Structure 1
Amino acid sequence: MAPWNRFRNKLKAFFVRYVADWGIIVIVGAVLYVLMIGTVLPKNLDVRLHEIASSDIQSPIDAVDTQATEVKKQDAMGATPSAYVYNKNLGLIQVEKVGDLFDTISSVKKQLKISGSSSQADLKTAIGKINAGLSSAPDSKLPDETLKTLLMASDRDFQIAEDITSTSIYEAMSGKVGWNDLERVQNKASASLPSSVLNDEMRSALNVVLRNYITANYTFDATATRQNKQDAANNVDNVTIHQGEVIVRKGELVTSDMIRQLKLVGLLDDHFNIVPFIGLFLFTGFITLVFWFEYYRFKAQHQKYSLKYLYIYALIFLGATVIIKICSYLRLTQVSGLSDIIPIAVAPLLIRMLLSERTAVVTGVLLSLIGSVIFGSSTRAAIFDAPTAIYLLFSCLAGALVLRKRQVRPKIFQTGGIVALVNIMILLALLMLQNTPLSLVGTGTMLIFAFLSGFLSVIFANGLMPLFETGFRILSPIRLLELSNPSQPLLRKILIEAPGTYHHSVMVANLAERACEAIGANGLLARVAAYYHDIGKTKRPKFFVENQLDGVNPHEKISPQLSRTIIFSHPYDGADILRQHHMPKEIIDIAEQHHGTTLLRYFYVKAQELSDQPVPESEFRYPGPKVQTKEGAVVELADSIEAAVRSMKKPTPVKVQNLVKSIFNDRLSDGQFDDCDVTLKELKIVEKSIDETLRGVYHSRIEYPKDLKVKKVSGK
């Protein structure tokens, strides 16, 4: 049977170490995925073209509306005015050109000796030469009649005509002349020709010249216009449908543009898209990974770890997630702020009392992330509901940090009031940050629900705490306080059957609690364990010196070996008694280990004296095991030191200090603390604490004389 038992024990250890741990973590991840899967499930929208919408439909993502963006760019380009360029030197250029015209005519006139009496042939030849001598520019092509009039003019009239023409062109083009203004400017210039010095034929000829040479100097710039329009289009921001933006409002007629936007954000996709499911799987994996890391960190810090703490952590974590899921449906009731009543702080409150403060804080962060996803899917407004995440985060942090270190039970009014105040303040901050209109009824209702959330969290925490303590046999501060009550049956048993042991245990409890608090260990656990550590002495109380009130010592009549057996049995008898009464394992372990493997020196020396053969030291050493925890190490030291000091005659501070140091060094050199995680620095602090406490107990007192002689005043 022995091989089978070993195999069974190994199989059990393997299951506890790997299968149970990973099985719970996989279950946590699977449950979280199921609770959050509503975020990525396709939404069946009740919307049809040209029908009235039955509810608001919001975009779940940010998406760029390319069609609307293109329309906006076209509008921007159309609204951009054309670019024009002003050539202020064009007037002088045209004056130069008209000067060239008159110079050419004058040159040909002199060359061919044209006058008013010249023949038509000579005039035709002259006109041909003038046209050949002028440039091919459009404004240089003048009608033959105009050139004939200028050729036949007298020198005086020709010169006057040139001066008037140049002046008129310069004046007409001294300002901006656009194509729309050109005809008006030309007419004005023609009308300004003086009739007093010019005959009708000359005025008609000059009118043609002016219309040919007066041109627009403020003209359209195609390149600049094209660039300006392109810049205007580039400066147009993309039309974005933002996450949470209402695309279709309840009661509105559904248009084709609304249908197009719904398709754009994926709300009308008919095909199955696996990408969101993969994203949710990765997100859930991250949450589960942090959960796993925090669980193993807690496990590493507690050597006497039990798998039940993983069950507790997972149960509270998943229970809080279910609460979030249930409360997310409260938004469907259309009652303003009803979902703010969510008592999410109950989870960090329970974890703070049952596990640790850090674990409670980390859990609060994880629950706020989970809540943001669950509430986002319930409202269809977004994948993540950021305001809800912030609200849940601060509510959880308040629950995790509000309890004081030594507080064993959250007070309903004090703790609930603090959590409620935090809820109200963060809710008001969120409303103001979102620029939400504040109304007396709507905002007041939301604040009332947030206020109730704090008190509900504390009420639930106080109500669930006994269930966890009973169901998982948790050694909570509340349970420890109950066990320290003097009316407990086992404590009354010690008091009645072994009163000396009871007094000794109370003294050890005082020493151990203060020493544990000095090194950051559980002082309350050390005190309660010290109360029960010697309960095994109640089986044979007269065999222990503190209970020999009549001065009779039964060990004087029996052999050292029998005395050894009786003394050795008391830690294990005590552990058996505690197990029978279903006491917490931590207290049973300290009762069983508080002597470790120390040497029963008195009876060992006595056995040596009575025996002719050397007696092995191992026969007079306790079987163990050695202490496994800091609290156990402190109780062992306090027990040994208190018993030794009690047996001293006339203890003084110096004697007490030397005795404490001696016992401390003896236990340390004997390796009694090798199996626990206490450090040498912490042991030194424990030694100092016990020494200071004992000096306060055994301080020097004034010895009063037995007979006081009082002088009487005469006459009195």
Structure 2
Amino acid sequence: MKNLLDNLYKNQSIIYKSFLLAFSVFLIVYFFPTGGQFKYEIIKSKPWQYENLYAPFDFAILKSNEEISAEKSKIIETHIPYFNYDVNTGKEVKSSWQNQLNTSQDSLLINNLAISEFISGTIDEVYENGIRIKDESVNNYTIVFLIKDKVVNEVLYKDILTQEDLKPFLNLKINESDLLSIRNDLLEVFFEVFKVNVEYDKALNKNQIQSKFDQISYTRGRVSKGSKIIAKGETIEGEKLRMLRSLKNEYESQSLESSAFVVVVTGYTFLVLLSLLMLLLFIRQYRPDIYDNNNKITFIFFNILFLVFLTLLIMRLDTDYIYVVPLCILPLTLKAFFDARLGLFTHVITVLILGLVVPNSFEYMFLQIIAGIVTILTVSELYKRANLFISVVQITLVYIFAYFAFNMIKEASIAEINYNNFIYFLLSGVGLLFVQPLIYAYEKVFGLVSDLSLLELSDTNSKLLKELSNVAPGTFHHSLNVANLAEAAANEIGANSLLIRVGALYHDIGKMKSPIYFTENQTTSVSPHDELSPTESAEVIIGHRLEGIEIAKRRNLPDRIIDFIRTHHGTSTVYYFYAKQKEEEDGEVAIDDFRYPGPIPFSKETAILMMCDAVEAASKSLKEPNTQLIDDFVEKIINKQIEEDQFINANITFKEIQSIKKILKAKLNNIYHLRIEYPD
């Protein structure tokens, strides 16, 4: 039992990765669509490259989207609209119009029955078909259905007067009467009492149109089982194209039998497993530091699952919208946290997985892989908003250009290209702009560090660095010098210069606890070490590393920065106090009491910092520096670190170390070069 637990503990990383791989494969395959798959590629206007194809079963030939749209448009154009006639409004106006008149209007009717009858008759005539609000969308000369008291009447639309039609209609009626002298008074009466009582019935018209849509036949004929659909070498166009697309649709809409379902799911499982396994092997071979970190592996798999699920969700809504998904956010994110090569490889693997289920898989994979390559090539310094915006514009244009060129071949006609996808590409580009808040969220959830955070940390006006400059100004100046040296060395060998600059700025923050014990902060010739034994002095000096780690954790500095604090002295010794102790005791001294606890540097960046820190600190002891002295000094410091095996865990080569030496020599020569004496 103990051996089993020991083996589980030793292999916990492998066990976790195996579980993560299996769980990811299960989730992806579980949400994959499992309908039938059409095994042939249909390319319009190209010869059929396969053997003669015969109908495996009876199926209907589907109408094209254009034909369906044309039928719907015709239904809308020929639809006779329904209008509701409010009977109560007409009755109310007829019965109460006299009660609404003012005193001057009332005087018209006194002892004048003709005027009263004229007004009543005109009201009857107007409300024969009612009054409506003017609507430019309906032709005035079309027939409409007027629903009056639950009875549908067919009337000319122009016979239903609008408020604008009333005045010319009333003028005409007055002209035909003997009441021209009181025209204005009559018009005033009419406009006072008339009310709109006819309105367009939106709900009824919508239902009527929809019911006609439901009666549309989406097929145009059938193909019998055994009928030849297309022969090898025939061009895929016209009726042949319609039959092939109809057969493909029939395959994909069919539910699989239980035995076939198991076979399909097993096939999906093998392919998805193979794809994700290739990703893991790639990371293990070329990014071992990432492979050994389960948190980073989880982060990569989470991003893959997130984009696969988002694409599958969009497919369930409508497959036409798959290009809305900003798939290039994956290489963008991984490049921000890791590197371009891993970002592109992961993007390609994700596209291959989605290519198993998306329609027009070759077109989809071609566009997404091209866009992913452009993403990696164009996006640099993601923390600059202008760079991100320019890159998004370039990615969107490449999407549009590649899609347009691809469909020129596929459709053999510019007119038949689906231009709606251009809008989807633009929406996808807008989605890519959300990569910065997404990166911020990932940093908080997964504890990773991107260039955006490093840029913030590199600001010397930050609270912690301000405190360092006030409490330990000499250490702050030393850190700035080390940062400049390390950044130049990192640029020379292609390391992460921004990361190493930030690491250099914070590597000695532990000296804030007891700044006076470090020579760069001492302003007089009196040293507090004079009152301590060499062992106690060494303990204080070595302790700044642990103090720095504690301060960094309290201030929530990322682990990648704390790594520089941990490793910048490796397992080297505080040789000055070790030699002093030997001198005092005149015998053997335990060197481990004067040795930093490590760990030693484990990356190019931490190794560079160790070299630059040692060289910069020791260079202060040079009395009369010259080129030869500086060259020998740099060689001595770094060669000693090599002899003490400080770099055996770092992926840095001797050639790169030689390049770093050259940079340090050049920089120190620039710092310590002698100026000519100016005459008094």
TM-score (norm 2): 0.67
Tell me how far apart the structure 1 counterparts of residues 490 and 341 of structure 2 sit (CA, whole Å).
Answer: 21
Structure 2 residue identity aligned to 1:293: L
Q: Deviation of residue 301 (structure 1)?
A: 4.9
* 1:509, distance to aligned residue in structure 2 (A): 0.7
**Alpha-carbon distance, 1:316 to partner:** 0.7
Secondary structure at 1:248 match in 2: strand
Deviation at 1:620, TM superposition (A): 2.4
The equivalent of 1:113 in structure 2 is none
State the match for 2:274 in structure 1.
286
Q: Which residue of 2 aligns with 1:697?
A: 671
Does the 8 Å contact 1:364/1:397 carry over to 2?
Answer: no
Residue 27 of structure 2: aligned partner: 31
The aligned counterpart of 1:391 is 367
CA contact (8 A) 1:598 1:621 kept: yes
Alignment pair present for 1:14 and 2:14: no
Among 313, 316, 331, the alignment partner of 1:348 is: 331
The structural deviation recorded for 1:7 is 10
- Are 2:670 and 1:658 aligned? no
- Aligned match of 1:314 in 289, 301, 314? 301
1:656 to partner: Cα distance: 1.4
The aligned residue for residue 539 of structure 2 is 565
Superposed, 1:241-640 pairs within 5 Å as 248-250=61-63, 251=217, 252=219, 254-255=221-222, 257=224, 272-274=258-260, 275-297=263-285, 299-302=287-290, 305-331=292-318, 338-376=321-359, 385-404=361-380, 406-408=381-383, 411-439=387-415, 443-457=418-432, 459-640=433-614
Aligned-pair CA distance for 1:597: 2.1
Distance 2:408 2:515 in 1: 72
8 Å Cα contact 1:35-1:374 kept in structure 2: no
SS of alignment partner, residue 11 of structure 2 = helix
Q: Judge conservation of contact 1:413–1:455 (CA < 8 Å) in 2.
A: no
* CA-CA distance at 1:631 after TM superposition: 1.5
Measure, in 2, the Cα distance between the counterparts of 1:469 and 1:270: 43
The answer as to whether partners of 1:345 and 1:399 remain within 8 angstroms in 2 is yes
Cα deviation for residue 23 of structure 1 reads 1.0
Q: Is the 8 A contact 1:367 1:392 kept in 2?
A: no
**Does the 8 Å contact 1:263/1:269 carry over to 2?**
no
* 5+ long unaligned stretches in structure 1: 43-58, 64-236, 377-383, 708-716
Shift in CA distance, 622/41, structure 1 to aligned 2, threshold 3 Å: same
Query: Secondary structure of 1:29's partner?
Result: helix
**Alpha-carbon contact 1:368-1:390 (below 8 Å) kept:** no
Q: Matched residues in 2 for 1:588 and 1:611: separation?
A: 37
Contact 1:515 1:690 in 2 (8 A): yes
- Give CA deviations for 1:264-287 in whole Å, capped at 9, x if unaligned: 986779854434333323322322
The residue type equivalent to 2:426 in the other structure is F
Partner Cα distance (2:38, 2:430) in 1: 34
Structure label with greater radius of gyration: 1
Q: TM-score, normalised by structure 1?
A: 0.64
Q: CA deviation at 1:338?
A: 4.1
Report if the CA contact (8 A) 2:311-2:322 is conserved: no
Which letter does structure 1 place at the counterpart of 2:357?
Answer: I
Matched-pair contact (CA < 8 Å) for 2:35–2:255: no
Amino acid at match of 1:453: S
Cα pair distance change 1:62/1:650, threshold 3 Å: closer
User: Secondary structure of the residue that 1:552 maps to in structure 2?
Assistant: coil
Other-structure match for 1:157 = none
Name the CA distance, whole Å, in 1 between partners of 2:26 and 2:334.
Answer: 22
- 559-568 or 648-657, which deviates more: 648-657
Deviation at 1:483, TM superposition (A): 1.1
Report the Cα offset of residue 627 of structure 1. 2.1
Aligned-residue offset at 1:506: 0.5
Q: CA deviation at 1:543?
A: 0.9
Displacement, 1:291? 2.7
- Secondary structure of the equivalent of 1:434? helix
The superposition leaves residues 277-335 of structure 1 with CA deviations (integer Å, 9 ceiling, x where unpaired) of 333233223222223223423541558x4211111101110111112212324546xxx
Letter in 1 for 2:285: R
Give percent identity, aligned residues only.
27
**Deviations 1:460-516 (Å, cap 9, x if unpaired)?**
312211011111111211111111112222211210110001001100111111112
Structure 1 residues 9, 703: CA separation in 2 closer, same or farther (over 3 Å shift)?
farther
CA apart distance, 1:24:
0.9
1:371 shift after superposition: 2.9
Give the C-alpha shift of residue 21 in structure 1: 0.8
1:431/1:338 CA distance change after superposition, 3 Å: same
Superposed CA RMSD = 3.2
Aligned residues: 495
CA distance in 2, matches of 1:366, 1:344: 12
Alpha carbons of 1:347 and 1:591: their partners in 2 closer, same or farther (altered >3 Å)? same
Change (3 A) 1:592 1:282: closer
Task: Flag the 1:263–1:60 CA change in 2: closer, same or farther, 3 A.
Answer: closer
Unaligned runs of 5+ in 2: 42-49, 64-216, 230-245
Q: Is the 8 A contact 2:328 2:372 kept in 1?
A: yes
Question: 2:35 touches 2:256 (CA, 8 Å); kept in 1?
Answer: no
After superposition, the Cα gap between the structure-2 partners of 1:619 and 1:285, relative to the gap in structure 1 and judged at 3 Å, is: closer
